[in-house]
């Protein structure tokens, strides 16, 4: 008889994904007028890459809570480690916690923050989050060569996720639009789909721009916002352009950009 492995502390506090998903969806519907079309185009199983324009922080909860499949998102490292900013403050040379009597409480605060941080991170990972260093050469101790190696490994990891049957979400613009206008797509999403040979699911969102900002709530604009998220027919691997990878990725990126633009402006369903 083998001894059972003792579960980690954070694993004991994992909240099932359906709980935050249901809460977020109800909250969204309480505040906004959300309409989603085309959910049937997301495959019930198997790997896929879902792409969309990126207009606001709302894009992710709208996409994630109105689809049945778990979607894997790439999030900046800091999102998964919020306790680190507080710990830096506690240990700063001018922090009052470096001197008595507050210094007596610092060890307990550090242990508590570390534990809560691990629980928080474990839940984000369970719900589909994946931490990344967005500007590796600028925001870490990596030099340019190490940063290039990091991004190469990250691409391999994203491909492996889709090959393992996960649905990965990428916003090919690379950043949020402050105006709602879609910026040109970067080729990475197309390159990953070509490598993994999985369908690309184009989608477009409109009406969410700036609707998560405090001003939208102060003016009441958020409560009148009509957010429309349209999911389109998948682009299958059999439809991917042929030829050298760089050329094929460029052509596929143009195809994706065109599909997303169409979905952004698709008419409302009755």
For domain 36-264, give the fold: Glycerol-3-phosphate (1)-acyltransferase (3.40.1130)
Cα–Cα distance between 185 and 253 in angstroms, integer?
7
pLDDT in tens, the chain (270 residues): 344 455 565 666 777 778 888 998 999 999 999 999 999 999 999 999 999 999 998 999 999 999 888 898 887 667 667 777 888 888 888 888 888 888 888 888 888 888 877 777 776 667 666 666 555 545 556 677 877 887 888 889 899 999 999 999 999 998 888 888 999 999 999 999 999 999 999 999 999 999 999 999 999 999 989 999 999 999 999 999 998 989 999 999 999 999 999 999 876 654
Instruction: Locate the domains of the chain by residue range.
Output: 36-264
Whole-model pTM over 0.75: yes
Cis peptide before 101 (omega within 30 of 0): yes
pLDDT (0 to 100) of residue 173: 94
What's the confidence (pLDDT) of residue 37? 95
Q: Which residues contact 14 (CB under 8 A, 6 or more apart)?
A: 122, 123, 126
User: CA–CA distance from 204 to each of 63, 85, 86, 210, 235 (Å)?
Assistant: 10, 35, 37, 16, 14
Backbone angles phi, psi at 139, to 5 degrees: -110, 15
In angstroms, the CA 111 to CA 44 distance is 42
pLDDT of residue 137: 47
pLDDT at residue number 133:
57
What is the Cα–Cα distance from 150 to 156, expressed in whole angstroms? Answer: 10
Q: Are 140 and 133 in contact (CB under 8 A)?
A: yes
- Distance, in Å, from the CA atom of 57 to the CA atom of 135, rounded to the nearest integer, reads 19
């Amino acid at each position: 008889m083998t001894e059972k492995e003792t579960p980690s502390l954070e694993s004991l506090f994992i909240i099932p994904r359906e709980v935050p998903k249901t809460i977020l969806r109800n909250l969204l519907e309480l505040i906004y007028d959300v309409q989603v079309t085309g959910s049937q185009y997301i495959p019930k199983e198997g790997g896929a890459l879902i792409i969309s324009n990126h207009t606001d922080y709302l894009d992710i909860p709208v996409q994630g809570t109105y689809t049945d499949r778990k979607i894997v998102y790439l999030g900046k490292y800091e999102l998964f480690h919020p306790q680190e900013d507080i710990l830096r403050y506690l240990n700063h040379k001018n922090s009052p916690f470096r001197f008595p009597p507050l210094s007596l409480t610092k060890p307990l605060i550090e242990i508590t923050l570390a534990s809560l941080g691990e629980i928080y991170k474990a839940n984000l990972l369970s719900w589909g989050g994946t931490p990344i260093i967005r500007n590796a050469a600028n925001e870490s101790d990596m030099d340019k060569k190490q940063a290039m190696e990091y991004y190469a490994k990250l691409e391999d990891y994203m491909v492996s996720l889709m090959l393992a049957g996960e649905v990965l979400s990428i916003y090919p613009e690379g950043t949020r639009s402050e105006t709602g206008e879609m910026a040109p797509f970067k080729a990475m999403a197309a390159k990953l789909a070509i490598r993994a040979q999985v369908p690309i699911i184009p989608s477009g969102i409109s009406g969410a721009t700036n609707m998560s900002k405090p001003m939208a709530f102060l003016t009441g604009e958020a409560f009148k916002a009509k957010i429309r998220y349209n999911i389109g027919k998948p682009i299958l691997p059999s439809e991917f352009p042929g030829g050298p990878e760089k050329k094929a990725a460029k052509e596929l990126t143009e195809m994706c950009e065109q599909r997303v633009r169409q979905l952004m402006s698709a008419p409302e369903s009755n």
